[in-house]
Structure 1
Amino acid sequence: MNIDLVDQDLYRRDGAPHDQLAWLRANSPVHWHQGDAEREWPGFWAVTKHADVVQVSRRSDLFSSSRKLALFNEVPEDQRALQRLMMLNQDPPEHTRRRSLVNRGFTPRMMGALEGHIRDICHELVDEAKGRGSVDFVRDIAAPLPLYVICELLGAPVEDRDKIFNWSNQMIGAEDPDYAADPSEGPNAAMEVYAYANALAAERRQHPREDIVTKLIMPDAAGETLTEEEFDLFVLLLVVAGNETTRNAASGGMLAFFEHPEQWRRLVGDPALARTAADEIVRWVSPVNLFRRTATADTTIGGQEVKEDDKIVVFYSSANRDEDVFADPGTFDIGRDPNPHIGFGGGGAHFCLGNHLAKLELRVLFEVLAERLPNLAQAGPARRLRSNFINGIKDLPVTLA
């Protein structure tokens, strides 16, 4: 089989290349993937089995997020220093320090306190959509929900959600002509987020509130706090990760229900299934397709020898369909339990900080949709994002009658 796990047009056309990934799991689970000099990326080890993705995820000492950063594209060394201030691109102990500070705003108790607010947002979005009859599920339902929640977390005006939406699109959609026609748009959007974060922090120093910004700029019990650059990069990460993952899980989940109408009927008949459905949606969609690590020493993954400085790429979309872990992995089953998916990462230092919040948003959203829009129907083709990183959907027309 011809293996190309990088072609972004493939992802835009078909979503994650599940046929290739299934072949790799069966025949070459730690596979040497040829590089491309023209596109300026070297060859890499494609890791596709659940157990191997978990191994790489949990061994930050052997598989670094910092040495050459965590995203697929290569970044020149002179640009890596700033990127290493972001938790995504750190290894312990630096990552441990940062995460302990940021954790203050993301405890399960604090996330649980948001449930009523999230439910209100979902009902408001449904009210607005019902008044129009037909809407785009992405722009009118899936995207606004996490944007409203991010504004709530930051204590930012709700009116800022459109700015945050556009910044996120420009950064994540850098290879998609609908979002970033000019290569400078992504970096420019990041600079605007930094300026926005600085303004938020300055305002909270003058007028503290009960929000995550105030918690992060104030010293903890040990006197530790985030530096200005660290805080700016945290807001950048929140704007992207807190928005894109939930938005695309919700959109991909709704598309999965359209493609599996018997599962939608199950949910409508028993909205309490939204609790297990949230995890199944994350498994099925795998909103983040891949992350990159760099081997810090000669070692092995699943019996395959790899060398120090080799590029390692883990594919969550593949691990979440691993036949050795999931019964009938190609079946979308909203009652699946247990469901040991790794849609929030394979554990270890970089397990998703916002996983409780993301599952809460998905659960409440689909409870509300099942209760109030039982006849929700697809009204046109879904258009996918041109990205091998985010399994994203740009448009999903629906009718609500």
Structure 2
Amino acid sequence: MTQATLHPSEIRLDDPAIFEEGRAHEVFRILRREAPVHWTPETENVKGFWSLTKYEDIVHVSRNPQIFSSERGITSFEPKEPDLNDVGTRLYGKMIITMDPPRHVRMRRLVNKGFTPRAVAAWEPHIREITNHILDGIAKKGEADFVTEVAALLPLAVICEIMGVPREDWEKMFQYTNQVLGGGDPEFQTDVPEELRGTPEGARQQINLGTAKMFQYFATKLAEHRAQPKEDLVQVLLESEVDGQKLTDEDILWFCFLLILAGNETTRNAIAGGLLALLEHPEEKQKILDNPGIMPIATEEIVRWTSPVLHMARVAKEDVEIRGVTIRKGERVVMWYPSANRDEDIFPDPYRFDVTRQPNDHIAFGIGEHYCLGANFARLEIRVMFEELFRRFPDIELAGPPARLRSTFIGGIKHLPVRFTPEA
């Protein structure tokens, strides 16, 4: 059966091959048209879930946390019998991303001021400096893996500096985030037995091991900061109070875990996916070369087009109806952002990559209570990267096919071979 004749009942959005093989947008097109509220049935060990693929429905769920809760995790995966040792269960209600108001608001307020437009704008000269240092590393080679040698390094460097992670530990953070957010991909299942690689059990074990490494790293940092205070976000968290109470070490560790993951992985994939889109649409790349001043607008289209976070989930706190479908209390509702960002009812010609698209009301950063804390940093990093990349290597082109991440949560590119005229 060809993809064009797929029936919604044959679609399982828990299948990472859909995303790894680049078939997701055709699947989402079918669902938006025929089953915009779609049920993925349970498996032997994992509960089923509802999927929302229309922009309007995703906005509705995002803006009503009193009905749709984040506290039971934010991915589509929910085991029938939760293991309290699994990171997916342990994070319930522990990170700001898995909190509901009012606690979510109070916790987020602790770090908000470091992520305001004004605070982020002050970073631009330094981010431009970091970007050019990264590009210096490939300048004389004439070819590179754009993901591992360029795209991954900028957001990693920025979030590590914010968190006070020294340069010699940046490679560790790169590995840990790959193991957690890429834990379902055999390439990153480096800590599990070979026979488990590529299996759900291998993914579970790798994610738990990667999380444990990150927690151990930041637990050591907390001890160091207590002995010798520093000027970084970890110190801010150590000194913060909520309702007159200091944060527990566990609170701080979950904060660090989230900030490193979210501040690194998603922007990396927007930059990598953005370059792929520009090289596959050379007329759009040429528009930027001819007028670099459009990069702020182009950045929004890159984010819409790539939608690096594939989904977030909520759990219904009461019976609710969406498009005539009853969702029962306790059932999981998954919001698919790449589908919303190509919704024909919202975006004219949504399958056209247009770096001058205006307006561009994408929701790749989410919407409502859980709007991405680091969106301003992401926009700045994407813009500066392409300004500097095209200034120095205007003839950059693909040197081979991309390798996509095997994941239903992160829309990632693992490798992107490129070539360009080397600098003298």
TM-score, shorter chain, exceeding 0.5: yes
Distance 2:143 2:299 in 1: 25
- What is the correspondence of 1:2-401 to structure 2 with a 5 Å cutoff? 2-14=10-22, 17-37=24-44, 40-66=45-71, 68-75=72-79, 76-77=81-82, 79=84, 80-181=89-190, 182=192, 183=202, 184-219=205-240, 223-345=244-366, 347-401=367-421
Deviations 1:22-44 (A, max 9, x none): 1211222112233333xx32322
Q: Deviations over 1:294-348 (max 9, x none)?
A: 1110112234322111221110010000111111100111111211100011x22
* Identity over aligned pairs, percent: 43
Distance 2:334 2:128 in 1: 37
Contact 1:268 1:374 in 2 (8 A): yes
Q: Is the 8 A contact 1:45 1:312 kept in 2?
A: yes
* Residues 75, 334 of structure 2: 8 Å contact kept: no
Q: Would the aligned equivalents of 1:125 and 1:141 in 2 still touch at CA under 8 Å?
A: yes
CA RMSD of aligned residues (A): 1.7
Structure 1's unaligned 5+ residue stretches are: none
Structure 1 window deviating more from structure 2 (293-302 vs 280-289): it is: 293-302
**CA–CA distance in structure 2, aligned partners of residues 185 and 134 of structure 1:** 32
What does the per-residue CA deviation read over 1:200-228, in whole Å, with 9 as the maximum and x for residues that have no partner? Answer: 22323333333222222113597554321
1:112 maps to amino acid: A
Distance (Å, rounded) in 1 between the aligned partners of 2:76 and 2:139: 41
CA distance in 2, matches of 1:141, 1:156: 19
Say if 2:177 and 2:261, in contact at 8 Å, map to a contact too: yes
Say if 1:245 and 1:288, in contact at 8 Å, map to a contact too.
yes
Deviations 1:43-78 (A, max 9, x none): 222100001001111111111111x32112114445
Q: Distance in 1 between matches of 2:288 and 2:327?
A: 45
Match of 2:197 in 1: none
Q: Supply the AA of the counterpart residue of 1:137.
A: F
1:72 and 1:33 mapped to 2: Cα distance? 10
Cα distance, 1:233 vs structure 2: 0.7
d(CA) in 2 for partners of 1:222, 1:189:
32
Structure 1: how far apart are the matches of 2:331 and 2:291? Answer: 48
Equivalent-residue separation in structure 2 for 1:271 and 1:393 (angstroms): 25
What amino acid is the match of 2:403? R
Distance, in Å, in 2 between the alignment partners of 1:376 and 1:358 is 22
CA 1:302 to 1:379, structure 2 compared with 1: closer, same or farther past 3 Å?
Answer: same
Please state how far the C-alpha of 1:246 moved relative to its aligned partner: 0.3
Amino acid paired to 2:321: T
Equivalent position amino acid for 1:272 in 2: G
Higher mean displacement: 117-126 or 190-199: 190-199
Could you list the structure 1 runs, at least 4 aligned residues long, displaced by more than 6 angstroms after superposition.
none
Query: 1:100, CA displacement in angstroms?
Result: 1.3
Structure 2: runs of 5+ lacking an equivalent: 1-6, 193-201
1:105-154 CA-to-partner distances (Å, cap 9, x unmatched) read 32222211111111011111111111221110000100001111012101
TM-score, normalised to structure 1, is 0.94
**Structure 1 position 238, deviation (Å):** 1.4
Paired AA for residue 59 in structure 2: V
Letter in 2 for 1:313: V
Which string of whole-angstrom CA distances, capped at 9 and with x for unpartnered residues, describes residues 361-396 of structure 1? 101111111211100111011000111111100100
Return the alpha-carbon distance in structure 2 between the equivalents of residues 235 and 81 of structure 1: 15
Deviation of the 1:83 alpha carbon: 3.5
Name the stretch that deviates more: 199-208 or 133-142. Answer: 199-208
Q: What amino acid does structure 1 have at the position aligned with 2:39?
A: W
Cα shift at 1:82: 4.7
CA distance in 1, matches of 2:359, 2:91: 40
Contact 1:101 1:225 in 2 (8 A): no
For 2:196, the equivalent position in structure 1 comes to none
Q: CA deviation at 1:268?
A: 1.0
The aligned amino acid for 1:11 is F
Amino acid at match of 1:323: E
SS state at 1:14 partner: coil
Contact 2:316–2:328 (CA under 8 A) maintained in structure 1 = yes
Aligned with 1:380: secondary structure?
coil
- 1:183-211 deviation digits (Å, cap 9, x = unpaired): 33321221121122122223233333332
